[in-house]
Amino acid sequence: MRVSMLAYASFGIAAIMVLVAYALNPDIGFLLTVVPMLAILAAVPLLLNVMNRRQAEKVDMKAIKKYRVMDLTRLSSGSEVRIRGVVEKVSFKWLNRPYFLVNDQTGTVGVIMFAAPREDINPGDSIEVVGSLRSFGLSKGNKIWGIKMKRLSN
Given a contact cutoff of 8 angstroms between Cβ atoms, the answer to whether 112 and 136 are in contact is: yes
According to the model, what pLDDT value does residue 35 have? Answer: 93
Beta-strand pair 141-151/108-113 = parallel
33 Cβ contact list (under 8 Å, min separation 6): none
Q: What share of the chain is helix, strand, coil (3-state, %, to 5)?
A: 40, 30, 30
What pTM does this model have? 0.72
CB neighbours (10 Å) of residue 85? Answer: 24
Q: How is the chain split into domains, by residue range?
A: 5-57, 61-151
* 56, 62 Cβ separation under 8 angstroms: no
Q: Looking at residue 1, what DSSP letter applies? A: -
pLDDT for 2 equals 67
Output the CA angle 42-57-46, nearest 5 degrees. 0
Domain 61-151 has CATH 2.40.50.140: yes
Q: What is the pLDDT of residue 55?
A: 81
Note the pLDDT tens digit of each residue in 49-68.
Answer: 788 778 878 888 888 889 89
Distances (CA, A) of 92 to 62, 105, 112, 137: 28, 24, 10, 15
Provide mean pLDDT across the span 104-112: 90
Handedness of CA 15, 47, 78, 57 (dihedral sign): positive
Question: Measured between alpha carbons, how far is residue 133 from residues 6, 70, 94, 101, 130 in Å?
Answer: 27, 13, 24, 14, 10
pLDDT of residue 134: 84
Model pLDDT, residue 140: 63
Rg, C-alpha atoms of the chain: 20
Pick the more confident residue, 109 or 73: 109
